[in-house]
Amino acid sequence: EGAATLAPTITASWAPGTETGSTSATITGSAGSGNHFAVKVSSTSLPTPNVGTLITGISTYVSGGNISAVEVGDFVGLYEVTATNTAVKFVQHTLIADDIKE
């Protein structure tokens, strides 16, 4: 067995969403063939997964869409996952007030 490989980083820019209490991420580039982006919001820091790790508790995410019901200090994990929700890429962002629509 080879050593586990941490998922490479997704590049994204953050801005307030269009709904009160939401944020939005615009992801650079697109997901690989057969893959999709997903999001998870957490009150605790999310670990960087190894490539191929099954990711649970995520919701499909389209770049530029709203991520609702967030607050300052929340950790938002963006994932690129395969059709079976195994990790390809990942980035975590800690929300600040400027990221959230008032």
Task: Return the SS3 of 50.
Answer: strand
Residue 3 confidence (pLDDT): 78
Residue boundaries of the structural domains of the chain: 12-99
- Contact residues for 24 (Cβ-Cβ < 8 A; gap 6+): 14, 15, 16, 17, 18, 64, 65, 66, 67
Kindly report the number of other CB atoms within 10 A of residue 88's CB atom. Answer: 20
Enter the DSSP assignment of 4: P
pLDDT in tens, 28-44: 999 999 999 999 999 99
Residue 1 confidence (pLDDT): 58
Residue 19 confidence (pLDDT): 98
What is the phi/psi pair of residue 55, to 5°?
-105, 125
- 3-class DSSP string for 25-83: EEECCCCCCCCEEEEEEECCCCCCCECCCECCCCEECCCCCEECCCCCCCEEEEEEECC
CA 92 to mean position of chain CA atoms = 6
pLDDT in tens, 53-94: 999 999 999 999 999 999 999 999 999 999 999 999 999 999
**CA diameter of the chain:** 49
pLDDT in tens, 2-17: 679 999 999 999 999 9
